[in-house]
Chains A and B, each alone.
Chain A
Amino acid sequence: MAFALTTEREQQVDEVLTRYPERRAALLPVLWLCQRQNGWISPEVVEYVAERLELSTAIIKGVVTFYTMFFDEPVGENVVWVCRTLSCDLRGGKVIQEHLEKKLGCTAGHTSSDGKFTLLKAECLAACGQAPMVQINDYYYENLNVEQLDRILDAHATKGGEAAAAEFSTGATFGAPSGGDGASATSAPPPPSKEAVRLASQPPPADTTGEDA
């Protein structure tokens, strides 16, 4: 079946096209719009984009396969990226990945059998000071331990990604969850120490109430 963007997204494409002197430059933004609607860049999406931007399908596939975040096969409802680069690994990134694999019942690179989660290994996600961390869909979850991770995954499975993000995502707080009662760096000015301003919140205290490891 041919792919088509919603009317609203079509308007966004028209707006995006005005930003660049060349039509082709809209390729990444348009692929993003398509992936947000369709979940992945299917062959039908490629056909659609080729026609919309007057490009060959070969050029589009070349671009799609170059970038890690464009999916050329279907993924689960939620995509979990677990960072395994050095800063995260020094702070337990491996523990987080192993826990995810156990909990989701699939190894990195695969989708859980209920189709709710695709687990992928990520290279550095620029959250090194709040390690270990995962990205789920559009949001960052930082300073993790396994209990917190369980709560985050459960919220995704039961309430959906947006509700889970509202409750647990660390957004721009550089460490503390934006929702709940976590103190966030954005609502309480950090006290200046020496010449520095401390921006990140403290690492999570060792929580010893968990039942799982």
Chain B
Amino acid sequence: MTKPLLTSRYGIEESWKLANAERAGAYAVAKQALTTRTPAELREQVKKANIRGRGGAGFPAGVKWGFLNRQEGEQIYLVINADESEPGTFKDRSIMDLDPHRLVEGAIISCFAIDAHVAYIYVRGELAFSVGRLEQAIAEAREAGYLGDRPFGIDHAIEVYVHSGAGAYICGEETALLNSLEGRRGEPRLKPPFPAVKGAFGMPTIVNNVETVASVPDIIEMGGDAWAALGRLPGDGGVRIYGVSGHVKNPGLFEAPVGITMRELIDDYAGGMLGGRPLKAVIPGGSSTPVLDPRRKIDAPNEDHPLHKWHGQSEIDVPMGVDTYRALGTMLGTCCAIVMDDTVNMVEACRNLMRFYKHESCGQCTPCREGTGWLVDVLDNLCNGRGKPEDVDLLVNISNNMMGNTICAFADGTAMPMLGMVQKFREEFMDAAIHGLPDGVRHDDSVRSMVEGGA
């Protein structure tokens, strides 16, 4: 049993108000950090914490901070990515709504640690409610003297501003986000230069996810090593917020150490499958992460293989970590799983996700703009009984031609789950290519009566 950290204040009445959050410990760490410790010390703790970025890519946050290399006359910016839009992901919103002061406190400590004076929180446009909560929290913190020209009385001005997006998944990509912050279309930039060298307004910039920044107060309070040790995997520290949606009894958010297994997440945390139906597939960390198939066993007889320890076990019995999941051929992503039972047709589920990517492609790069559309066209044909067996390989071919051929990782994030689906559920795609989908196929059977009510 561990005490909750990130979510420890969620249950407090009106937890978003300063007085209540402060009574439960908010800003104590920021005060101690700013008044008694040096930025270099704080950076060292975050590095030791082995915190892998919580936005999906899993890059070590401490290492990212180390990339900053300020030139004469430059100002460093902290940009907090709250554009949470990856299908299946809904964790950052809970931090902003239920404990905005944890994020503001994390932003204050982070700004001090990386020598930034301004932090922008880029919130997706749909979350007007979260924007309100954050702005209220920032105003309270400024009033209390935790922000402004002399936070906690020290000579290091810090301002935190909320910047609202306006509906574009691609703005979660850090350089698209920076363009959007600067008042432009949210189109990703060519890299290099990376944001740490040339980011917001041409200045060195650190872009971190909400949960990453919200973890900073705990890391500083406990010390990097102790926080890292909360996780169950080497090089991947701490606790994180897991999400589960889809066909489970209790969909929702759960705080747990890094390194629990998908089976634990579904059975122990989310209460098991809805209606006791069999688990067919699970998308582990947002729609861009290739699907897991519980029937598949780990094949790693070689002792050098990173997954050797789990040789012969199901894919869903591998601990959820950035590196273990990469070895598994998928990605940990945002740790928010979409669970599907045996009523789901994978071709239809795949079409649903590919429609999302088609809608959200920013259109700069031809392979992505056209490729996402072609994938949907081919899947439409399969679903509507107009497909041919060759179409299944066409999906693979289109995906392979998208990967690595574009400015940002969006095309890869589309192609990888597409390839994973075909690889693991090829027979279902072939079946659709030959027979089309069965009449009336739908993937909400297990809940339909609940949603339809008394029909």
Q: List A contacts of B244 (CB < 8 A).
A: 129
Cross-chain contact B252 with A213 (CB below 8 angstroms): no
Known: A123-B359, A199-B94. A128 touches B245 (CB 8 A): yes
Q: List A contacts of B167 (CB < 8 A).
A: 67-70
| Residues of A within 8 A of B (CB-CB), count | 84
Cross-chain contact B269 with A67 (CB below 8 angstroms): no
B407 smallest CB distance to A (angstroms): 16
Q: List B contacts of A212 (CB < 8 A).
A: 453, 455
CA distance A7 to B162 in the complex (A): 22
Cross-chain contact B183 with A26 (CB below 8 angstroms): yes
Cross-chain contact B185 with A208 (CB below 8 angstroms): no
Q: Does A195 count as interface, using CB distance less than 8 angstroms?
A: yes
Residue of B nearest to A22 (CB): B201
Q: Does B349 count as interface, using CB distance less than 8 angstroms?
A: yes
Partner of A203, one of B97, B251, B349: B251
Q: Does B246 count as interface, using CB distance less than 8 angstroms?
A: yes
Cross-chain contact B452 with A213 (CB below 8 angstroms): yes
A-B contacts, CB under 8 A, total? 272
B355 smallest CB distance to A (angstroms): 8
Partner of A192, one of B4, B164, B352: B4
Cross-chain contact A194 with B94 (CB below 8 angstroms): no
Please choose the segment from A101-109, A111-119, A180-188 that sits at the chain B interface, where 4 or more of its residues have CB less than 8 A away.
A180-188
Q: Does A100 count as interface, using CB distance less than 8 angstroms?
A: no
Partner of B444, one of A66, A92, A187, A188: A92
Q: Does B250 count as interface, using CB distance less than 8 angstroms?
A: yes
Partner of A207, one of B128, B163, B362, B454: B454
Q: Does A96 count as interface, using CB distance less than 8 angstroms?
A: yes
| Residue among A53, A67, A146 with the highest chain B CB neighbour number at 10 A | A67
Q: Does B27 count as interface, using CB distance less than 8 angstroms?
A: no
Q: Does B126 count as interface, using CB distance less than 8 angstroms?
A: yes
Q: List B contacts of A69 (CB < 8 A).
A: 125-126, 166-167
Q: Does A163 count as interface, using CB distance less than 8 angstroms?
A: no
A95 smallest CB distance to B (angstroms): 5
The contact sample of 5 A-B pairs, CB cut-off 8 A, is A85-B287, A146-B451, A189-B12, A200-B251, A212-B455
- Chain B interface (Cβ within 8 Å of chain A)? 1-2, 4, 7, 10-16, 75, 84-90, 92-94, 97-98, 124-130, 133, 159, 161, 163-169, 180-187, 201, 242-247, 250-257, 268-269, 283, 287, 336, 338, 340, 344, 349, 352-353, 356, 359-360, 362, 442-444, 447-455
4 tightest CB-CB pairs across the interface, nearest first?
A213-B455, A200-B252, A189-B11, A172-B97
Q: Apart from A87-B338, A92-B444, what are 9 other A-B pairs with CB-CB below 8 Å?
A: A86-B287, A95-B451, A129-B243, A130-B90, A138-B129, A169-B129, A199-B253, A200-B251, A210-B452
